[in-house]
Amino acid sequence: MTWTEYFVVIILVLIFIVIFQIAKASEYVSVLKGEKKTFEQNNRINAFLMLVFLVVGLAAAWWCNKLLYKKTLLWLPSASEHGEKIDTMMWITLAITGIVFVLTQILLFWFAYKYQANEKRKAHYYPHNNKLELLWTAVPAIALTVLVSFGLYYWYKITGEAPKEAMEVEVTGHQFGWEYRYPGKDGVLGRQHFKLTDAAKGNPLGQDWKDVANHDDLHPSELHLVVDKPVKLIIRSQDVIHDVGLAHFRLKMDAVPGTPTTMWFTPKYTTAKMKEMTGNENFVYEISCDQMCGSGHYSMKGTIIVETQEEFDKWISAQKPQYVTAHPDGAPAVAATTAPPVSDSVKAATNAEPKAEH
């Protein structure tokens, strides 16, 4: 700011102070002149306006909810079994906080009306009450403890050990997109190393081609899941902290550089079914980044397709291994190592401490 701009701001502040002081002085003069009747009349008007604001405010809140409800995901059922529990917790939380909000607002504005200034009434000095303080401290503490306990229970469910029949998919975030990797027919994800990452040479995930487990791994552009079949996501990041956000499934998990995280869930509805339920032919499940990760954060989203096992098998059989894409002229002569029973990437992901945003 220039000196002229500073000077203008100072002048405006001084004008505001002068006007405020004049208004206060006028009020004091009115009282001294015996114009208390006018003051009481204004006070009654303000008290009545408090009640009007209460009614209009609550009605506006109800109207906004009715108007915008269908534009949220609240009216749609969760697309995962875990998400149903999250929805239940959320509705309980909204019910508790909603009741408290309505009651406190009604009391706040009603008291402003009922106990307006009056010559016949004197304020009662009431500084302390042990029973009241215990009540308004203990009740919220107990309610929050119960809600947090349920939250932790479901949190450990989704970050715990996935069922044995769960399929594994690796999801890797980078500025500003998502990469997906599926194990091939061997059911094992091959080793990775960040120093091997080279998108220009067909290796955007840093796969170690010396590991034969990598030779049949798939790297599609979309995330395909099977309805009613558990899926375990192994989540990575190549640069900054991202966050796998699955709004329709009511799930999210941080993608942390150097620290694989995991979560698992079971999709309930196919994409086709959700199109039918929503009445929207353009409906798609989305994976988004729920962590501010840079200037292109807004564009970091991808498509998830939930389908039947037959549709998934047909799709997966049409995918080409990334190893073939990286070596279009044929496989190089490398000293291939035997694939371990469980890939290093999966071991690291399983043993890593899950992290997520609260």
Checking if the pLDDT of 348 tops 50, the result is no
Residue 176 lies in a domain: yes
Least confident of 104-118, 284-298, 336-350: 336-350
> What CATH number should be reported for the domain holding residue 292?
2.60.40.420
Query: Quick one: 355 exposed, middle or buried, by C-beta within 10 A (0-12, 13-18, 19+)?
Result: middle
Residue 137 lies in a domain: no
Beta strands in the chain (DSSP E): 167-174, 177-181, 223-226, 231-237, 242-246, 251-255, 261-265, 285-289, 301-307
Residue 172 lies in a domain: yes
Q: Give the torsion through C-alpha atoms of 328, 330, 336, 339, to 10 deg.
A: 60
Q: Give dist(CA 183, CA 168) in Å, integer.
A: 7
Residue 125 lies in a domain: no
Q: How many separate domains does the chain show?
A: 2
What pLDDT is attached to residue 34? 60
Least confident of 13-17, 22-26, 111-115, 191-195: 22-26
Q: Give dist(CA 194, CA 201) in Å, integer.
A: 14
Residue 333 lies in a domain: yes
Q: In sequence order, which residues have a C-beta less than 8 Å from that of residue 184 and are 6 or more positions away? A: 215, 216, 217, 218, 321
pTM assigned to the model: 0.73
Residue 92 lies in a domain: no
What pLDDT is attached to residue 331? 57
Mean pLDDT score, 228-234: 95
Mean pLDDT rounded to a whole number for the chain: 85
Residue 85 lies in a domain: no
Query: What confidence tens digit (pLDDT) does each residue in 109-155 have?
Result: 999 888 887 777 777 788 888 888 999 899 989 988 998 998 888 88
- The total of other beta-carbon atoms located within 10 Å of residue 197's CB is 16
Of residues 19 and 210, the one with the higher pLDDT is 210
Residue 9 lies in a domain: yes
DSSP element (H, E) containing 85 = helix 81-114
Range of the domain at 172: 165-351
> In 3-state terms, what secondary structure has residue 300?
coil
One domain for residues 30 and 169: no
